Amino acid sequence: MKINSEIKLTLVSKSDAQFLYGLLKERESNVNISHKKMPTYTQHIKFIESKPYSKWYIIRLGNQKIGSAYLSKQNEIGIFITKNIHIKKLGTTALNILIKKNRRKRYLANINPKNKKSISFFKKNGFELIQHTFELELS
């Protein structure tokens, strides 16, 4: 059996909070667009409980949790696979399952321009660059 055929997406539940927090810790701070600093675990729990996405999944390889994928209410896709998994096409398989489970006419992926790996991933999967967004943050 091919490894990618063992990939499944299961909806996020409260029991996934610790795993999701670990994934969040793995992200490089200079490529994030969703937050500027690492939230506390309590803030993270509140975020999960707020049901921020239209659909939010744990990516599983068999019974092992290996990542997460979401579809926002604006049809934005986010995929993150733990750094200790190095299997070709795994992200593409998860992306295809997410799209198949959640048919839309259009999907977006908001990516920090410094995140070359994500840019490459989405380009390889047929996404096209449509804009760069600038921000001014006053304190």
Residue 88 maps to which CATH number?
Answer: 3.40.630.30
> Does residue 9 fall inside a structural domain?
yes
Residue 3 pLDDT = 65
> Does residue 19 fall inside a structural domain?
yes
Please count the other Cβ atoms lying within 10 Å of the Cβ belonging to residue 111: 20
Residue 88 pLDDT = 78
Backbone angles phi, psi at 95, to 5 degrees: -60, -45
pTM for this prediction: 0.87
In tens, the pLDDT along 4-50 reads: 679 999 999 999 999 999 999 998 776 666 666 889 999 999 999 99
Rounded-to-integer distance, Cα 77 and Cα 115, Å: 15
Domain tally, the chain? 1
In tens, the pLDDT along 64-98 reads: 999 999 999 999 999 999 988 877 789 999 999 99
Q: Which two tokens stand for residue 123?
A: 């380009």
> Does residue 92 fall inside a structural domain?
yes
> Does residue 137 fall inside a structural domain?
no
Owning domain of residue 44: 3-124
Length of the chain: 139
Which residues, other chains included, contact 97 with Cβ-Cβ below 8 Å and sequence gap of 6+? 7, 8, 9
> Does residue 130 fall inside a structural domain?
no
